[in-house]
Amino acid sequence: MRADGTGRVDQIDGTSWSDQAGIAFRRSCPIVWTAHWIRPTSLPAYPAMMVAPLPTRRLLSVALTIAALAVMPWPLAADTRSSDQLWLVSTRHLECVDAAAFSENDMDVSYWDAEACRWRAASFEELERGKETTAWTAIYVHGNRIEPGEDTYHGRRWYAALRAADPEAPPVQMIIWSWPSSQVHGQIRDVRSKYWRAQVEVDYLGWYLRRQRSRPTWLVGFSYGALIVTGALHTAAPNGASESAVSLEPPPWSVLLVAAAEPVGWIGPGGKYERFADSVRRAVVLVNGCDPALRRFQIVDRCTRPTALGYVGYPFSETSRALAERVSFSDVSSIAGRVHDEHPYRQSERVAEWIRETTKAVWKHP
């Protein structure tokens, strides 16, 4: 649904919905059963199920995993086109480096050796040289509570979804952007500390984007990863004045924000990341009003108690010109249901259409 304030009713995957008071509201919250598929580096697998009793969840976890292994290719997302590249850029070892002092020496870089089927250490210079043999870049930023090894698993799954959605795309340099999101003790302490750490990561990704303003780039962020993406694009906007930047041609960048765990007003006029829309040619924000984690997003800040962008969408009455023209909001409650998980999105044909739409805005740009 385009953020133009038309107030029309759309239907997505059979679920009708409309905007009320300028904000997208869902009509139903189906139960979507998903499982984290077993991967070689992390056992055991566990399902993202929110409603069944614990014994039932355990039995279903085993059943779903066995069923998944029966139909999924093995190894998962391990095969890459010979013309494509998979890279891992990690800042997990960093505490808080001043953005002005941040440099390529602060990043750990690795690349996927398809022949040896393993990750190998590399340099930032090698990462930059990889652009010479690829036409565009795709960057995936994960959410909270992702351990080392899980970041590459999810990144490779997004690469597989990208290939499946847009097989005609030219050679791509896929970058998995990994930040320190390992779970810390205490539920509330964990989500609050990562909320603030994600805002630090904004400067690091923004530094990288500023170095490649002319490079066609597609970004996908999940949960706190969406916060990092929008903030980084804000810092890498064409210039510092949002009023004049909207009249400039934005960089050849496009975005897919999935279950965005960031305050709803940050991307709008006067918001913390108000220049986000000035930096993209196309952006799709997927809204899930059934997401249990986003429903409790207010706990991240006890003073402001914000509402998550990925939970309610954005008030059309407060939309800037760039936001209205370049960013759309789509309800996906019938796709993801009552889970805060990446798998339902990657497996959805409807989301594949949005992936194809946003990637073509990048690599087909003249």
Among 97-106, 168-177, 250-259, whose mean pLDDT is lowest? 97-106
What confidence score (pLDDT) does residue 259 get? 97
Is the pLDDT reported for residue 81 higher than 70?
yes
Domain range 10-363, CATH class = alpha beta
Mean pLDDT value of segment 72-101: 76
Mean pLDDT value of segment 18-33: 49
What confidence score (pLDDT) does residue 287 get? 96
What confidence score (pLDDT) does residue 131 get? 95
Q: Model confidence over 322-352: pLDDT tens digits?
A: 677 889 999 999 999 999 999 999 999 999 9
Please state, for a pLDDT cut of 70, what percent of the chain lies above it. Answer: 74
Is the pLDDT reported for residue 36 higher than 50?
no
Is the pLDDT reported for residue 242 higher than 70?
no
The answer to whether residues 122 and 109 touch, using CB atoms and an 8 Å cutoff, is: yes
The structure's pTM equals 0.80
Q: Model confidence over 205-236: pLDDT tens digits?
A: 999 999 998 999 999 999 999 999 999 999 99
Confidence of residue 48 (pLDDT cuts 50, 70, 90): very low
Confidence of residue 31 (pLDDT cuts 50, 70, 90): low
What confidence score (pLDDT) does residue 14 get? 34
What confidence score (pLDDT) does residue 239 get? 65
The ranges assigned to domains in the chain are 10-363
What confidence score (pLDDT) does residue 316 get? 62
Among 64-78, 154-168, 241-255, which range has the highest average pLDDT?
A: 154-168
57-64 long-range Cβ contacts below 8 angstroms, 24+ apart = 60/33, 61/35, 64/33, 64/34, 64/35
Is the pLDDT reported for residue 175 higher than 60?
yes
What confidence score (pLDDT) does residue 90 get? 96
